[in-house]
Amino acid sequence: MSALVRAAAWLEERVGLSAFAALAREKHVPVHRHSLWYYLGGMTLFLFGIQVVTGILLLLYYRPSSGEAFESVQFVMARVPFGWLIRSIHSWSANLLVFVLFAHMFSVFFLRAYRKPRELTWLSGMLLLFLMMAFGFSGYLLPWNTLAFFATQVGTEVAGRVPFVGGFALRLLRGGDQVTGATLTRFYGFHVAVLPALTTLLLGAHLLLVQRHGMSVPPSVESEARRTGLRVPELPFFPNFLLRDAVGWCVALGALAGLAALAPWELGVKADPFAPAPAGIRPEWYFCWMFQTLKLLPARILGVDGELVGILGFGLGGLLWTLVPLFEREGTSDRLRRAITVAGVLVLVYMTFMTIQAYLPEKH
């Protein structure tokens, strides 16, 4: 025992972590009827952690060249002990991560946690959302199977339609004019180096800001507290909230293990750039709502190319959504606040509906 105490004292003199320990003890989490949503942030972080660990394990065997990528994933699935487990967890966790991330984002939106002083937290969070979708898009290509190849072709094609910068962006993404082995290597670089670096910075900022400001209390709870005069009850983060977080994380881990063992992620067939695209190509489900929208838009809208209108619409929508803290400030009217809520509900309903639509069999 005394050895441990002495070691702790040695560290304390040099690193001085006791200040952080003190801060940690002071960290509290408000408890109210909406506080269940608080767990989503931690869950997202946990799932991201799983991605980092399984991702690092996978890259010990993966080969980012068009001639070997598919075979290396096949090798991991068939020959490496527990390779099937690591790979399936990585693929499932990616999808779970995006789902939880969207839930986290929407819950923050509807609970209005982006209000002052948390505007930068919201901004860093939205940027992290875009980064995670980029992770998903780049990672999807890496097994170099038919579905991924053509989904990437379609996805980068859409990126190329953006006015002015589209052509440049397409060549930058594809590493050329077509989707080739060069695209694969480039996407691999994005997926394991560029995006993780950017994520580290933004995630660090995001978490620091959350520590700085603490958990936001939704306006309805706040006004109720003001009315009754009672303080909103709180729970210490260490160990109470963290223990509850841990319960959620264990359940998530169990779910991932179950999915990996009972519904393993498919490998498909190696991509053949010269074969015609199979019917029913679509991107990963979290891009489907955009994909479906573009499919349904008419060829021309007010004289402008329909798809272009769609792409610009998404860009504008994303921008407005990211800038929502600017619209809801202290002086904003109740009407505007309600409009923002309604807009949010419409967006959520639209995205859900379009995602489901994309998976229904096509009627001719």
The residues that touch other proteins, with contacts defined as CB under 8 A, are 31-32, 35-36, 53, 57, 60, 63, 67-68, 71-72, 74-75, 77-86, 88, 235, 239-240, 243-244, 246-247, 250-251, 253-254, 257-258, 261-265, 267, 270
In this structure, how many other beta carbons lie within 10 angstroms of the beta carbon of residue 361?
A: 6
**Between residues 78 and 346, which has the closer beta carbon with respect to other proteins?**
78
Question: What is the distance of C-alpha 195 from the center of its chain?
Answer: 12
Cβ-based nearer residue to other proteins, 60 or 302:
60
Confirm if 331 and 270 have CB atoms less than 8 A apart. no
Rounded to the nearest whole angstrom, what is the least distance from the CB of residue 237 to other proteins in the complex? Answer: 13
CA distances from 10 to 23, 25, 191, 260, 353 (A): 20, 22, 40, 44, 58
262 or 279: whose CB is closer to other proteins? 262
Burial class (CB in 10 A: 0-12, 13-18, 19+), 164: exposed
Task: State in angstroms the smallest separation of the CB of 52 from other proteins.
Answer: 13
Closest by Cα among 267, 349, 314 to 78: 267
Query: What's the min distance (Å) between Cβ of 192 and other proteins?
Result: 18
Contact of 241 with 29, CB cutoff 8 Å: yes
Q: Which is nearer to other proteins, 204 or 258 (CB)?
A: 258
* Residue closer to other proteins, measured from CB, 267 or 347: 267
User: In this complex, which beta carbon is closest to other proteins, that of residue 245 or of residue 284?
Assistant: 245
User: What are the phi and psi torsion angles at 252 (to 5°)?
Assistant: -60, -40
Examine residue 239 and say whether the peptide bond preceding it is cis (omega within 30 degrees of 0). yes
Question: From the CB of 80, what's the least distance to other proteins, in Å?
Answer: 6
Q: Which is nearer to other proteins, 53 or 348 (CB)?
A: 53
Min dist CB 54 to other proteins, Å, is: 9
Q: How far is the CB of 34 from other proteins (least distance, A)?
A: 9
Q: How far is the CB of 4 from other proteins (least distance, A)?
A: 16
Min dist. Cβ of residue 63 to other proteins (A)? 8
Q: Cβ(325)–Cβ(116) under 8 Å?
A: yes
Exposed e or buried b per residue across 44-70, where buried means at least 16 C-beta atoms within 10 angstroms of its C-beta? bbbbbebbeebbebbeeebbbebeebb
Dihedral, 253, 199, 86, 147 alpha carbons, nearest 10: 110
Cα dihedral: 173, 177, 183, 189 (round 10): -40
Q: Is the dihedral of CA 115, 324, 224, 43 positive or negative?
A: negative
Which residue, 137 or 249, is less far from other proteins as judged by CB?
249
